Structure 1
Amino acid sequence: MKLSDCDVILHLGAHRTGTTSIQHALNQNSQELFQEGMICLTAPAMGEHSEGTVRQVTKALPKLGRRFGHVLHWSLAAQQKSLLAQLMIDRSQGRAFNSVIVSEENFLGHAFPLGSKTDLFYPNLAKMLRGLKRTLGSRISRIHLCIRSYDTFLPSYYAMRAMFGERNDFKSIKARWMKVEGGWPSVIERIAEHFPNAQLRVTTFESATPEETFWQIIGSERLRGRLSWNVEVHNQSPTCEAIQAAIQLKKTPNFDPDEVVHQYHVHRHGKRFDPLSPDEKRLLSERYARDLEALRRGGLLASQPLERVA
């Protein structure tokens, strides 16, 4: 079965909004979902290699998203479509299905690439979306995105980056990150621009739990009695001690950030990572409130469930 024959449901994250827990739930319920004609393609679990997951597609998106090089685009897109087709065959075991759920927060790119020449929030998003469009085509019917207040997103995102190799101290990059040029409205508008025919459902981390987002992605009330949400919290926010330990550790294939976070848990002997002053938190929180109001006025956010219907 070809990707072009399927209904594609895309879960884009964002980062630090319970995405890993949602992916675990999708994998846990894969057999029940398959009985309903749905298969799930998710990012690799912690500690797993990237082979055989949609993470390979993620790595190819920046090249696919370049505006020039049509021969390269055609060849690379063909490779990624072949990879996705093989993943679909492996998950379906050769049996028929009619829809695919693809969950990968890194399809958005990095929120604050340090090497970028711009301060735009998710600066490589347009390139990533162009590459995604070349790979998935026009079969995307729904796109799910969860956003989070800047005053909690920035520290949590930095902590995640620190666990995976970020070497810059938060103080050295805070001034730049505090600008949040464009913000969530820019992210949502760019997604809507690249996929105008898809139903874009936007929830907020403050108003929807990961479990609620999971059920929105599934999109079927009658499955509630058959599916389960028995997922532990994954990728918990690291403490100051966990971040320092991760920065100092030499990365190995067996490096497990979850284990480091667990070792330096706040309830044991860790201090909560809280690098913003009350005034900085207030400014970022007020910015978030203004952005949400702008999104509502623009029709990109509504009362719960928050959605934009094409």
Structure 2
Amino acid sequence: MSSFPSAPTVVLHLGAHKTATTHLQHSLIAHRIDLWQRGIRTMMPPHLRGGGQSLEALFDLPINRTVTGHAPNPAEVRVKLIGQAKRFVVSEENLLGVLQTREGRIRLPLYPRARQRLAMLIPVLSPDQGVDLCFAIRDPAGFLNSAYGQVMMGGHVVAPDEFKAQQPLGDVDWVDVVRRLRATPGVNRLTVWRYEDYIPLFPQICERLLGDCGIPIAPLPDAVHGGLSCAAVANVLAAGPDGDLNPVAARQAWPVGPGNPTYNAFAAEEVALSRAFYATQVDEIAAMDGVDLLRQ
């Protein structure tokens, strides 16, 4: 590879969870070698999870679950991660923290330590130039519907009404999250898009992540992680938390498809309220200084 500048552009794609993040990651992984040959190095969850390969583990940050106290030389870690690349792109939603607790509840407010976590990472990952951030948001009802499926797939069989009582729609506050991300020291450009616009905006999203990479990148044609269907949820709930039907098997037995839609825990009135609340949040985010909201 030819030589590239020693101070690369660093871009962090932070999710959020449940916003087609995995689909985007898999779409980019398919081009990883071509991008690397053009001076763009990408790192995704398959490269960062397990075996002490997360950024917080490699830099031995205080947020690392198994802090060693060995204090590695950040410059040496950066060389191993980035090499001679001119652009370093990390897509990992867990950089902000995990979405749910071990008990199967969604952490609200969302990503409560996002700013603190980034404030530890940015000075060691890109001390001279800071980082660009990319972040997707989603209608609260759709977000919680998807999160409900994740909770169920994790082995926590909980009734929809109980789940909704634990995670109120109004607590899915993207304005708060974006404001905290924007206020983090070392953040340069913050790009936000709506999950609902993901496919139409895919070329613009790739440009924000990869710059002018010179490679035509298309989104994968199919979903990477399918949700739970109405029939799957109904059968799991009928079996109960101690039943012999787990959600993983139910998803396989009753996949989403024609005549078997994705499960929706919210009534029409709740969906309408969520959309109105979301529209207000989107407008407020669009008006923030230093935030670039991509639109169709």
TM range (shorter): 0.7 to 0.9
Structure 1 residue 22, shift from structure 2 partner: 1.3
Gaps of 5+ in 1: 67-71, 90-95
Tell me, yes or no, if the aligned pair for 1:57 and 1:80 is still in contact at 8 Å.
no
Tell me, yes or no, if the aligned pair for 2:8 and 2:87 is still in contact at 8 Å.
yes
The match for 1:99 is 87
The match for 1:143 is 133
Q: Does 1:285 align with 2:275?
A: yes
Q: 1: distance between equivalents of 2:259 and 2:73?
A: 48
Tell me, yes or no, if the aligned pair for 1:112 and 1:123 is still in contact at 8 Å.
no
Q: 2: distance between equivalents of 1:117 and 1:262?
A: 24
Structure 1 residue 13, shift from structure 2 partner: 1.0
Partner-residue secondary structure (3-state), 1:233: coil
User: What are the within-5 Å matches in structure 2 for residues 245-264 of structure 1?
Assistant: 261-264=251-254
Gaps of 5+ in 2: none
Which of 1, 10, 16 lines up with 1:14 in the alignment?
Answer: 16
User: What are the within-5 Å matches in structure 2 for residues 68-79 of structure 1?
Assistant: 75=69, 78=72
Q: CA RMSD in A?
A: 4.2
Which of 33, 40, 46 lines up with 1:38 in the alignment?
Answer: 40
Partner-residue secondary structure (3-state), 1:64: coil
Partner-residue secondary structure (3-state), 1:8: strand
Q: 2: distance between equivalents of 1:273 and 1:117?
A: 18
Structure 1 residue 126, shift from structure 2 partner: 3.2
Q: What is the identity percentage for the equivalent residue pairs of Structure 1 and Structure 2?
A: 21
**Aligned pair in 2 of structure 1 residues 228, 50: CA closer, same or farther (>3 Å)?**
same
The match for 1:126 is 115
| 1:134-180 Cα shifts (integer Å, max 9, x gaps) | 55243443211111111211111221232133343332131231154
Structure 1 residue 103, shift from structure 2 partner: 0.4
Q: 1: distance between equivalents of 2:168 and 2:42?
A: 36
Question: One-letter code of the match for 1:207?
Answer: D
**Aligned pair in 2 of structure 1 residues 250, 140: CA closer, same or farther (>3 Å)?**
farther
Q: 2: distance between equivalents of 1:300 and 1:100?
A: 21
- Between stretches 198-207 and 113-122, larger displacement belongs to 113-122
The match for 1:93 is none
Q: 1: distance between equivalents of 2:119 and 2:265?
A: 35
Structure 1 residue 305, shift from structure 2 partner: 4.9
Tell me, yes or no, if the aligned pair for 1:155 and 1:275 is still in contact at 8 Å.
yes
Q: Does 1:223 align with 2:236?
A: no
Write 1 or 2 for the structure with the bigger share of helix: 1
TM-score (ref. length: structure 1)? 0.73
Structure 1 residue 278, shift from structure 2 partner: 1.3
- Between stretches 292-301 and 153-162, larger displacement belongs to 292-301
Question: One-letter code of the match for 1:44?
Answer: P
Partner-residue secondary structure (3-state), 1:200: strand
TM-score (ref. length: structure 2)? 0.76
| 1:33-88 Cα shifts (integer Å, max 9, x gaps) | 1121111110028xx97237537749x76x4389xxxxx98937638886665455
